[in-house]
Amino acid sequence: MSKPLRKLVPRSTRVRVAIAGAVVALIAAALIAGHTYEHDRTGSIYHPHARFVPQPTPTLPVSGAGHFAWPLYGYDQDHTRFFPAPSYVHAPFKRLWVHVGHALLEFPPVIYGQHIYQLSDSAVLNVFDKRTGHLIWFRPLGKVSASAPAVTGNTVYATILYSGHPHSPGRVVALNSANGKVRWWRALPSGSESSPMLAHGDVFFGSQNGTVYALNDRNGDRVWTYKAHAAVKASPTLAGGILYFGDYSGRLQAVSERTGRRIWVSQSEGALLGSGTFYSTAAVVYGRVFLGNTDGRIYAYDASTGKLDWAVQTGAYVYASPAVTNAPGLGPTIYLGSYNGTFYAINARSGHIDWRFKAHGRISGSATIVGRIVYFADLGTHRTYGLGISTGRVTFEFDSGSFDPVISDGSDIYLTGYSSLFGLQPTDLPAPPKPKATAKTKAKRPASKKHQS
């Protein structure tokens, strides 16, 4: 019996089938390679032999009576967000006062002397007596703000995201810190949500169109401008005469404080289909630049060269700015949260995670370390937590908080909730020392009877 004849397929059809098969194979290979590339590029990266510069832990500043200052967002110019408070500044706290507002408080206040200065998201600058919470003065500065002010002995500076004028939406304002009278102001072609940095007679900040400004702090005259690749929303960080900041193109940049000249620029090495964005304000310490990125990673770069030292993937946006200190038992450690609801303590040298805390919400704002407690807020649950920096154990919980919650004057803490500001005092605050007796204050001892006439 003869075999059935095989149906002949035209050659052109076979060629098309072969080409289609090859295309499918190429697509499959590309997908596999893309997956590998995506995993490698957005996963964690470690360079264990990268340069690391040990530094001493800061100590409590010495200041005259009544002249304490928490002058900048993040406390100091290198934005480590670490305040070396005395050991008694910890929970439990008692509430001294509360000021209930109606506008969102996305950023914490600053302190000079007995006054607290806080800029609400409605662009109103409020000034309080830190002892009583009494409102001393307030000044509307525009329509929308999303930054912290900066303050000196006589002037407070604020940046405005939307002034209300469409042709000059941004604004920077300098006011008399005692009464709110405007000293000078400057219109900007784009809004700014960059908390001002003050140093050596200049004020530095970024803007939505990527321009970074250095202005004379006395009159607002331009010293220099620098054009980044995209919006600069972070506060510039100053260390060793160099300003560090990321932008929304995913680039980290280092420029000269004096001239604005670019020293180096580094990519974030973010996601496959585009780099993540830097909203986070950098912390510069240990010869490194630490900051978070919306590609989900926490980055460490060499401060001298911009070379990547390590990157740790969290799996969700990292808008938060890192807080950094030398933790007992752990050594140099950075602390910040992710939108995945997890708060991390990460070894500053190696990038390896020392401990995690699940807050079960979304962590958008930045943490602050006061003494040996690190405080952060959970935007998802509207709660504030205080954790031991070495253990991650909860030492404090408060039923208000959304973004950057806590600053301190070394005696009390001031907690920013969603729209309210709280003054809190440790319950075991030591009693003030008794004044020393002087010749005028010593009581006269009664004469003994044998000397009385």
Residue 445 located in a structural domain: no
Residue 262 located in a structural domain: yes
Where residue 249 sits, what CATH number does that domain have?
Answer: 2.130.10.10
Q: Is residue 63 over pLDDT 90?
A: no
The total domain count for the chain is 1
Residue 325 located in a structural domain: yes
pTM of the prediction? 0.85
pLDDT at res. 441: 47
In this structure, of 270-274, 311-315, 324-328, the range with the lowest mean pLDDT score is: 270-274
Residue-number span of the structural domain to which 94 is assigned = 69-134+239-426
Residue 291 located in a structural domain: yes
Residue 375 located in a structural domain: yes
Residue 212 located in a structural domain: no
Q: pLDDT grade, residue 267 (50/70/90)?
A: confident
Residue 342 located in a structural domain: yes
- Residue range 317-350, pLDDT digits in tens: 999 999 999 999 999 999 999 999 999 999 999 9
Residue 407 located in a structural domain: yes
pLDDT at res. 1: 45
Q: Once rounded to an integer, what is the mean pLDDT over residues 220-238?
A: 98
In this structure, of 47-56, 126-135, 215-224, the range with the lowest mean pLDDT score is: 47-56
Cα separation of 137 and 129, whole Å? Answer: 10
Query: What percent of the chain stands above pLDDT 90?
Result: 76
